[in-house]
Amino acid sequence: MNRSAGSLGRWIVLYGLLLLVLLWTLVPVFWMVLSSFKSLADVLSTTPVIAFEPTLGNYVSLDAGGNSLLSYFRNSMLAAGISTIIATTLGIFAGYGLARVNFRGKRHLAFWIISTRMAPIAAVILPLYVGFTFLHLINTIWGLIIAYLTFNLPFAIWIMHAFFADLPKAMEEAAMVDGASKFQTFWRVALPLTAPGIVTTAILCLVFSWNDYVFAATFSGPGSQTLPVAASALITQTGIDWGQLTAIGTVVALPMIVVGLAVRRYLVKGLTLGAVTGE
């Protein structure tokens, strides 16, 4: 076998395998988006339909009758958004402190933070349920915000700590020599340098809480139903409207895919809790 035939063969195998991986990954997503634009007859065809007359009917019906897509969207946005803002803001300050100040017991503190982030949701939900019942937080947006803080806050502290720890100390020291106060050094030097880290932290917090189902399904009621709960509520005793389901699935998935891929460069660091630095 000569060289060019060998590399052509290699090229075919490589891209052939890549095509298989892409099919496995994308066919479900593609099929979900496609089905969301189908009429009920096309969705319920017993042989798959690829060519069809597209319709927005499924999206329209999600905001009609007993459904209120806009209020589900608002609830999701408020619960995920507010918990993200609180977690990221508190996380920036605590993360900076953890990265720059040495004190006794720091290792134990770090361990407590990471254990909190990793606590199984099925366990956390029990004391929260009882607490929320007493505090009348069941079926409120604030209940969900607090529930999301149980994983977003330790995550934000930990990951902001990792981003600040990566900054070279020299720049901050130079600012201090020039007479900047500790707070000015933090505000004017360290904070702008970690801007990508802050954005990544916020986006990951948003994705984690936007995608939550277990907390929302347990704590929310008619007044605070989020998109994932509304999606699963479309499955009723009398039947499942797959057209509407794929439409709401698309509404839940697309925004998170877009914002998630926007910070792809920093995802590795964020998702490994700072253990691995990417590209």
Partner 1 sequence: MMLPALAVLAAISILPFLYIIWMSLNDVTLLGGSGLSSRWVGLGNWAGMFTDPNVWAGWVRMVIYFVATVGLQVILGVAIALLVHEVVWGKNLALSLILIPMFIAPVIVGLLGRFLINPTYGLYSWILEETGIFTGNILGEDVPAFVAVVLMDVWEWTPLITLITLAGLVSVQQQVLEAAKVDGAGYWRRLWHIVLPSISGIVLVALLVRSMDALRYFDIVWQVTGGGPANATKIIPMGLYEVAFRFLQLGYAATIGLVMLAISILIANLFTRMLKQRGLAG
Residues 18-77 that bind partner 1 (CB under 8 A): 18, 21-22, 24-29, 31-32, 35, 43-48
- Work out how close the CB of 217 gets to partner 1 at its nearest, in angstroms, rounded to a whole number: 8
Among 141, 159, 162, 202, binds partner 1 (CB under 8 A): 162
Nearby residues of 20 by Cβ (< 8 Å), 6 or more positions away = none
Distance separating alpha carbons of residues 214 and 228, to the nearest angstrom: 9
- Work out how close the CB of 83 gets to partner 1 at its nearest, in angstroms, rounded to a whole number: 11
- Work out how close the CB of 150 gets to partner 1 at its nearest, in angstroms, rounded to a whole number: 5
- 35: tokens are 């089905």
Distance separating alpha carbons of residues 121 and 219, to the nearest angstrom: 13
Which of 54-62, 63-71, 191-199, 226-234 is the region at the interface with partner 1 (rule: CB under 8 A)? 226-234
Which residues in 154-176 are b (16+ Cβ under 10 Å) and which e?
bbbbbbbbbbbeebeeeebeebe
**Range list of H helices, the chain:** 3-36, 40-43, 57-61, 69-100, 106-118, 121-134, 141-166, 169-177, 182-184, 191-193, 195-210, 214-219, 227-233, 242-262, 264-271
Nearer CB in complex with partner 1: 44/56: 44
Rounded-to-5 percentages of helix, strand, coil across the chain: 75, 0, 25
Nearer CB in complex with partner 1: 134/170: 134
- Work out how close the CB of 195 gets to partner 1 at its nearest, in angstroms, rounded to a whole number: 19
* Angle at the Cα of 229 from the Cα atoms of 224 and 231, rounded to 5 degrees: 130
Distance separating alpha carbons of residues 179 and 191, to the nearest angstrom: 18
Residues 133-152 that bind partner 1 (CB under 8 A): 133, 138, 146, 149-150
CA 77 to chain centre: 12
CA 163 to chain centre: 19
In the shown chain, the binding pattern of residues 173 to 192 toward partner 1, with x for contact by CB under 8 A and - for none, equals -------------x------
Nearer CB in complex with partner 1: 68/90: 90
Q: How many amino acids of this chain bind partner 1 (CB under 8 A)?
A: 100
- Work out how close the CB of 48 gets to partner 1 at its nearest, in angstroms, rounded to a whole number: 5
For residues 220 and 144, the answer to whether their CB atoms sit within 8 Å is: yes
Residues 90-129 that bind partner 1 (CB under 8 A): 90-91, 93-94, 96-98, 101, 106-107, 109-116, 118-129
Residues 195-224 that bind partner 1 (CB under 8 A): 207, 210-214, 218
In the shown chain, the binding pattern of residues 240 to 259 toward partner 1, with x for contact by CB under 8 A and - for none, equals --x--xx--x--xx--xx--
- Work out how close the CB of 100 gets to partner 1 at its nearest, in angstroms, rounded to a whole number: 9
